[in-house]
Amino acid sequence: MASEQQSSTIKGSKVLMVGAGGIGCELLKTLALSGFQDIHIIDMDTIEVSNLNRQFLFRKSHVGQSKAKVARDAVLKFRPDISITPYHANVKDLDFNVDFYKQFNVVLNGLDNLDARRHVNRLCLAAGVPLVESGTTGFLGQVTVHVKGRTECYECQPKTAPKTYPVCTITSTPSKFVHCIVWAKDLLFAKLFGDKNQEHDLNVHSKDGSSSSKQAEDVFERQEEENIEQYGKRIYDHVFGYNIELALSSEETWRNRNKPRPIYVRDVFSSELAIQNGNLHNCSNGDPPSLSAMASLGLKNPQDLWSLKENSKVFLEALKLFFSKREKEIGNLSFDKDDQLAVEFVTAAANIRASSFGIPLHSLFEAKGIAGNIVHAVATTNAIIAGLIVIEAIKVLQHDVKNYRMTYCLEHPSRKMLLMPIEPSEPNKSCYVCSETPLDLEINTHRSKLRDVVDKIVKAKLGMNFPLILHGSALLYEVGDDLEEDEVANYAANLEKVLCKLPASVTSGTILTVEDLQQELKCSINIKHREEFDEEKEPDAMILSGWIQPRATEKSSNTAVDSEVSTSSASEAVPLVAEDDDDLQIIPTITGKKRKLSNVSNEMKNKRKAELHSKNDVVVLDDDNSDMSKKEQ
């Protein structure tokens, strides 16, 4: 039972919850039952069927509705006397600025992606509001406390970043099933059903760079005289047969590798089966996502391992269904793990490619988990973590600094403990979110454009949403709704100029100041000219140093990938794992007094090291953005 002082503190506090998913449902319930009277919730997601097995505040009738609003209504049924304010919105919206955060006594995060977590962390620092972070994956979970000036901020420690695969590995020399999934999802699916002008083309070119054939240039365009079946077979033969044969022409490539085998329709089917894959006329005419190649072909169990012939049938049938039943969507589609037909197509394509390269095949269930970035969630873990969040929130509200704990939920006992609490560290003096140390950027100032710096450094690595870039007193770039037309045109023109040709020339020794007014962040970047870069090891042709280097985990590719997780979708995930679109990490700073990094005990360091390399490093797929983030099943 809470003491009288605790009860008074709890009742008088105003709490912001970010996320109403797996952790969020448990957290809102626990807050309400613990006596909190004024709770605000932000979540931009709507309820999906897959949420219902653990997000207990939701029912089947709620599918499609706002998570934040439905969660509020559900809790008010058993705690009608409290105030719960829901916001069905993106936490990065401009309405949720520093002044908005200042009204709260504590912020509690239940997010599922690194990008949104970084954003909330920075606004909490700017507003001077304590933050309690959390995350779960399976039986693992953690709760961390971040109080400005007293503990490390969320970004003081490196977060696990995805391992990136060179495009040549994905397109030419795959060795793992994840490579095949990335190829099928981010290249083939996107080429057939999304933007046909994507950067990484599946049309193979000969060694001299010219097109290997007229057919190769036009293969993805459906000819006027072609029916759907003919088109499907031609695509199949091109990507699984012709492209492989052309790749085999390079003897050097396969000198130390197992050679793939080209696969053509004629090799897999008899002539009659090649023409009839399924019964299109028996397919449902309902909502597009309800269409299923599996249903059309009589395949029922998603955990079955399909043969090459079955994968080929699914591939051709799914392609046929897309072009016959969802033709209006062609050109605008992106992969969605909840789109059954898309999952079937990607699974089949990945398995056929895997078969060609001698890689073990996977079931649709397994392939969906990889392609859809799915982490299997455990409701009990969410409940435990939610309880720990509330415990830490109460300590924060009582300013009980000595008893703050960062608690880790383990799958197996360590020293007979499943919950491992450790004292939080002091702020990291090398953290560029809560320190002033400048960054160094090695770049070719004669070739690289300002756009390269904005896209690859300021946005991708520093995580700024509304950047402003200054060279001394000269404003080189700015974004905002209040800009005049001539200013917008001027900054757009600057983006296309090489650094040394900007109005205020950027050369070796230049110090750029970068700010994000929304996040109230500011940092300095020292420019160092460098003539050459290794194309494979340094594909961005620029090196940012002085920031916290993320750890690598197998996750994604250098190919263009679609980000299916919103930058603020709320759910359970592990904060120490970089999701989706966050191949790279952070480092803007808040101006202010530098703070010391504590001398953490060796035991604590070892615990943190073990935690960083624990099983919460899951394999996921995603792109720039944003949110390679984590989705649950």
Residue numbers in the known binding site are 19-24, 43, 51-54, 67, 112-117, 153, 156, 431, 434
- CA 89 vs. chain centroid, Å, equals 18
* Helices within 377-531 (DSSP H only): 379-397, 450-452, 485-495
49, 50, 51, 57: CA torsion to nearest 10 = 40
Find residue 544's DSSP bridge partners. 441
Question: What is the phi/psi pair of residue 85, to 5°?
Answer: -110, 115
Position of tokens 């397109």?
Answer: 171
- CA 84 vs. chain centroid, Å, equals 29
The phi-psi region of residue 489 (left if phi > 0; otherwise alpha if psi is between -120 and 50; otherwise beta) is alpha
Tell me whether residue 168 is one of the annotated catalytic residues: yes
* Helices within 198-307 (DSSP H only): 214-218, 228-237, 243-248, 265-268, 271-275, 293-297
Burial of 253 (0-12, 13-18, 19+ CB in 10 A): middle
- Name the DSSP class of 230: H
Measured distance CA(576)–CA(568) in Å, rounded: 17
**Among 17, 18, 19, 23, CA closest to 381:** 23
Question: What is the phi/psi pair of residue 203, to 5°?
Answer: -75, 120
Burial of 263 (0-12, 13-18, 19+ CB in 10 A): buried
Residue tagged active-site, from 25, 168, 500, 523:
168
Question: What is the phi/psi pair of residue 27, to 5°?
Answer: -65, -45
Question: What is the phi/psi pair of residue 215, to 5°?
Answer: -60, -40
Q: At what angle do helices 379-397 and 22-33 cross, to 10 degrees?
A: 50
Residue 383 tokens, joined: 């409940």
Position of tokens 């990490």?
Answer: 585
- Name the DSSP class of 579: -
Q: What is the DSSP string of 546-576?
A: SS-PPEEEE---SS-----S-TT-B----TT
Which stretches does DSSP call E strand in 88-243?
106-109, 131-137, 140-146, 160-163
Residue 630 tokens, joined: 């984590």
Measured distance CA(306)–CA(304) in Å, rounded: 6
Q: List the binding residues for Zn(2+).
A: 153, 156, 431, 434
In one-letter notation, the amino acid at residue 504 is: A
Find residue 474's DSSP bridge partners. 471
Q: List the binding residues for ATP.
A: 19-24, 43, 51-54, 67, 112-117
Find residue 161's DSSP bridge partners. 552
Q: Would strands 131-137 and 140-146 be described as parallel, antiparallel, or unpaired?
A: antiparallel
Find residue 140's DSSP bridge partners. 137
Secondary structure element (H or E) that encloses residue 143, with its range = strand 140-146
Measured distance CA(528)–CA(444) in Å, rounded: 8
Q: Could you give the residue numbers annotated as active site?
A: 168
